[in-house]
Structure 1
Amino acid sequence: MRYAKPGHIEVAFNGSLAAVPLDAQFSVPAKGVTAVFGPPGCGKTTLARCIAGFQRLPSGFCAIDGEIWQDETTFRPPHLRPVTYVFHRPVLFSHLSVKRTLLYNAKQSKPALIDFDGVVELLDLASLLDSSPSHLSGAERQRLALGSALLAQPRLLLLDDPLILLDRPAKREIMPFLERIREQLTLPMIYISHDMADIERFADHLVMMKNGIVTAVGPLHAIQSNPALAVRGEAAVCIDTVVGGYDGRYGLIILRLQGARLLIPGPPLRPGAQLRLRIAASDVSIAREAPRASSMLNIFPARIKASLPFDEAEVTLVLALETGRSGAPLLARITRRSFDELGLSNGTGVFAEVARALPAVLPERLLITPSTPAGEARHVSVDARNKQKSDHGHDRQP
């Protein structure tokens, strides 16, 4: 018999639904964003529908934060599960205005999570309240769908690839609102997607699926160093850092990672703000000895945990940083010739030279401008991957 564990989302489904096999078992924290990643047709949506109760596998198990929704003797139907499901194509009533649509959902539940005014402010819906859903853009319709879902006061928000039907500008418009929900509400989310770039931007945990089977589960940065992702052409690791200060002379943000320090070009940020960095494997090189003089800003002692063949000419190294207390994983893609000539192997101590580290995004961070006192700030939404300078590799870290 399975037991529900407080503070966790626990799932175990095994069987077949409509000829789609499913072997999905995982346990993740009941907070933040858990992304479910895999190619189209791998069973992500089937898994989400089982969690929501839309589909049933008799031997399934589902528990949220210690509360059992399904086991050998229990099956709560969808309307008795405190979960809301946001589809990639929102289901909205065209005869109701935006305001009436929101109020309809607000009347169904007491505002334990967020109230009507809070949703309007969080999703910037004030200017749309009198509009008909049929007159909204794709991104605006998704904002309305998110607002309706939140006003149902769920304990779990299921997002089934909500950006898949949106073009690139619409995706850039809606993503900051998903980040607001993550940052401002204590609401766990399961985010279904086959786009790793979206997942890297704001997910905390990652569940990988292939052919209906869960193949890996864990914190995002840990799974990114898993061989299944590390050998991708665009392999990268995301690490969460804290702003420690600013070097105004050289325009460098000082970042902290459990005792380690990183420097990247950028505008001054509020000290203490969290910033997620994306470091691509192709932007990390390896040295056997600490360089005496280098143009690299960030050089860290590290140890090789695994070496993975990439193609005939290159190999991907999985590293563990040994600076401070971080132990953070890092990836490096180097040539096979360099691997052999440096005498590298698993367990070898090396120095990782990070040529470039890009903020995954700066979602409404408090940017400190030259004309703004340090105690004040203005909200700015920035897609840092497109706007940050690309050259992060000059002047060795002091």
Structure 2
Amino acid sequence: MDDNALKVSIRQQRPVPLDAELVCEAGEMLAIVGPSGSGKSTLLRAIAGLGKPVQGLISCGGATWRDSSSRVRLPTRERGVGMVFQQYALFPHLSALENVMEPLASLPSAERRKQAQAWLARVNMSGMEQRCPDQLSGGQQQRVALARALAGNPRLLLLDEPFAAVDRVTREKLYRELAALRRDLSVPALLVTHDVEEALMLADRLCIFAQGKVLQTASAAELMARPADGQVARLVGHRNIFRANVIRHDLGRRHTVIEWRGIRLAAGLQERFSVGSRVNWMIPRSRILLYTPNSETEHRENTVVGRVQEQVELGDMVALTATVEGPERPPLHLMLPAHVVSRRCISVGKPLHMTLEAEGIWLMPDERYQIDDEAAALPRE
């Protein structure tokens, strides 16, 4: 572990419960992802040293910022944190250049101006140095806020829902600019967001956060393919989450066979679940494929027949909900390119022949309150 990493192990009961442990390496962006009201911003404020002191340990860059056991609490101004907020938090009476010069107060005036101009150039704000915040668009204000956060050479960069207040087109431009800037950053960066897609695009790893607790931290690929449980699966956007019984482990074929309401499905081998146990299972929408019935159908794995119940166009993709033939099985959710839907003449009421890729089926511990087929979905905060 790098000595320049951010290390957090904190807890508190009030005003917002927290029980969180995380590590963010130097040069890494870690996204804290969770629903509104889950405590994400409270976690960021605790790391920055804002508000009531938390219990536990916070260190960054080899320095201890908070250690409740020895009563260490470094003031916010001495932690060297660069923060970017949802509502920009620029000084309204200062120009863009003057805002970026603020964290450079220890430098001679000419050097402050030179560095601030350089940072504004890096965020594509050259020529707008003398404009005040009310003369800038939302995207431009956010660029100034980012330049100000980075200008002070921070030990840690904190971004709290930084793109929530701008339109989608501007947001996508800011994503690209932040991704380009990140290549030169050598400090830990925490991004708080409720938008899973945003986190997947920008972060090296995701930390799934709910009710003040870290549920799972992993790379985007790991989280999407192997969520720790049904709650994490829901929070990262999976919809195909069901229950089944483990029937057997086929070591020769490297499969675990499960039974889902009368249908036997082969999953990738997952021996940690004992034969006879009840499990949750999930499959990403991208791992449900269509096939045309023919003489080779019997050789396909995990074939199910459904009927289109709902069809929603989402740009060049189409979201489909398909009922599955059999005893009150819950529907499957698919996402297909619009041209595939058109070519196959898919429409509401028509049959769908689907194969569920074995390697895409992931088993999780049984948690009844989280699964669609026997209970309501997770409540949203």
**Shorter chain as normaliser: what TM range?**
0.5 to 0.7
Matched residue, 1:217: 217
Q: Are 1:70 and 2:66 an aligned pair?
A: yes
User: Aligned pair count?
Assistant: 269
Residue 51 of structure 2 aligns to a residue in which SS? coil
The secondary structure found in structure 1 opposite 2:200 is helix
**2:150 match:** 150
Change over 3 Å in CA distance of 1:194–1:231 after alignment to 2: closer
Counterpart amino acid of residue 14 in structure 2: L
Shift of 1:123: 0.1
Counterparts of 1:160-239 in structure 2, within 5 Å, are 160-224=160-224, 225-226=226-227, 227=229, 228-230=231-233, 234-235=237-238
Which of the two has higher C-alpha Rg?
A: 2
The residue identity in structure 1 corresponding to 2:13 is S
Give the C-alpha shift of residue 218 in structure 1: 2.3
Contact 2:119–2:147 at 8 Å: present in 1 too? yes
Once the two structures are TM-superposed, the CA of residue 183 in structure 1 deviates from its matched residue by 1.4
DSSP 3-state at the match of 2:127? helix
Post-superposition CA distance 1:290-321 (Å, at most 9, x none): xxxxxxxxxxxx96699898x9999896799x
Kept in 1, the 8 Å contact 2:5–2:188? The answer is: no
- The residue correspondences of 1:1-398 to structure 2 (distance < 5 A) are 6-18=3-15, 20-71=16-67, 72-73=69-70, 74-108=72-106, 115-224=115-224, 225-226=226-227, 227=229, 228-230=231-233, 234-235=237-238, 333-334=287-288, 342=301
TM-score, scaled relative to structure 2: 0.60
Q: Which amino acid aligns with 1:146?
A: L
Distance in 1, matches of 2:77 and 2:17, equals 25
Counterpart residue type for residue 68 of structure 1 = T
1:206 aligned counterpart, secondary structure:
strand
The one-letter code sitting in structure 2 at the alignment partner of 1:191 is: L
Runs of at least 5 residues in structure 1 that lack an aligned partner in the other structure: 237-279, 282-301, 321-329, 345-387, 392-398
Does the aligned pair in 1 maintain the 2:92–2:132 contact within 8 Å?
Answer: yes
Residue type of the partner of 1:29? Answer: E
Deviation at 1:161, TM superposition (A): 0.5
Percent of residue pairs bearing the same amino acid type = 26
Task: Measure the CA separation in 1 of the matches of 2:220 and 2:90.
Answer: 33
Q: Distance in 2 between matches of 1:231 and 1:314?
A: 24
Give unmatched runs, 5+ long, in structure 2.
Answer: 242-252, 271-282, 290-296, 304-336, 341-381
SS across alignment from 2:183: helix
Contact 2:196/2:236, CA 8 A, preserved across alignment:
no
Mapped partners of 2:302, 2:338: distance in 1: 34
TM-score (norm 1): 0.58
Output one character per residue of 1:118-167: Cα deviation in whole Å (capped at 9) or x when no partner: 31221011121121111111111110111111111101100000111222
Aligned partner of residue 6 in structure 1, secondary structure: coil
**Alpha-carbon deviation of 1:342?**
2.9
Shift in Å at residue 97 of structure 1?
1.4
Q: Shift of the alpha carbon at 1:106? A: 2.6
- Give the distance between the partners of 1:13 and 1:306, measured in 2 at CA: 41
